[in-house]
Amino acid sequence: SAWAAQIPYDNKREEIVPYTDCWALGNGWVWNTPLWSRLGTGYVFSDKYITNEEALQEFKDHLKRKGKLREDQEFRLIKFRAGISKRLWVKNVCGIGLSAGFIEPLESNGLYSVHMFLNRLIRSIDRDEEHLVTQWDRDAFNHNCRFMFDGFAQFVAMHYSLSVRNDTEYWRDVGSRH
């Protein structure tokens, strides 16, 4: 899950930078993404280790430490399911990008998977004029895209498993996974 908020700039010239900052908190991490009109920020957390209300308080405490908590601040809870569809291409429907699967927001695998999955689909259907798409084509596409997605997931998991942070149950658990 994630708590998200929009924060107006205090000093746009100083705060608008060409990168996203991230901070680890007790049960996940916070992103701070400067947009042209405002800062987008949020706390991605595991509800296995903390309640929504506790996570919101942890996020608010973080924003307060950074001098970014507003009295009238609105927060939105975003629930998401991580993983990939069992079958991406079924009959004449093909899942591409985020319609196929989602890992988590930090690495933003959506754009890369759109590109890679589309390339894989084009290779599957653009062999020659006589070619009809077969179940083998769909199965090969499903297998290849799931393999690529597993690589994305391992890349993201490596960020957590290589962490030396161990001050909460969350960080001990994600740090012990290989």
Asked if residue 139 has pLDDT above 70, the reply is yes
The pLDDT value recorded for residue 128 is 65
For residues 18 and 108, what is the distance between their CA atoms, to the nearest angstrom?
A: 16
Instruction: Give the DSSP H/E element, type plus range, for residue 4.
Output: strand 2-7
The pLDDT value recorded for residue 82 is 86
The residues near 117 (Cβ < 8 Å, ≥ 6 apart) are 88, 94, 95, 96, 97, 100, 145, 148
For residues 39 and 8, what is the distance between their CA atoms, to the nearest angstrom?
A: 6
Q: Mean pLDDT over residues 80-93, rounded?
A: 90
- pLDDT category at 153 given cuts 50, 70, 90 is confident
Q: How many CB atoms lie within 10 A of CB 33?
A: 15
* Placement of tokens 């429907």 in the chain: 93
For residues 41 and 7, what is the distance between their CA atoms, to the nearest angstrom?
A: 7
Count CA within 13 A, CB hemisphere, residue 149. Answer: 28
Q: Mean pLDDT over residues 86-112, rounded?
A: 86
The pLDDT value recorded for residue 177 is 64
- Identity (one letter) of the amino acid at 123? R
Asked if residue 10 has pLDDT above 80, the reply is yes
The pLDDT value recorded for residue 167 is 92
- pLDDT category at 161 given cuts 50, 70, 90 is confident
pTM over 0.75: yes
Question: What pLDDT digit, counting tens, does each position of 27-50 carry?
Answer: 999 999 999 999 999 999 999 999
* Placement of tokens 């205090």 in the chain: 10
User: What are the residues facing 17 on neighbouring strands?
Assistant: none
For residues 132 and 116, what is the distance between their CA atoms, to the nearest angstrom?
A: 22
What value does the mean pLDDT of the chain take? 90
For residues 121 and 75, what is the distance between their CA atoms, to the nearest angstrom?
A: 39
The pLDDT value recorded for residue 174 is 85
Asked if residue 81 has pLDDT above 90, the reply is no
Q: Mean pLDDT over residues 106-131, rounded?
A: 82
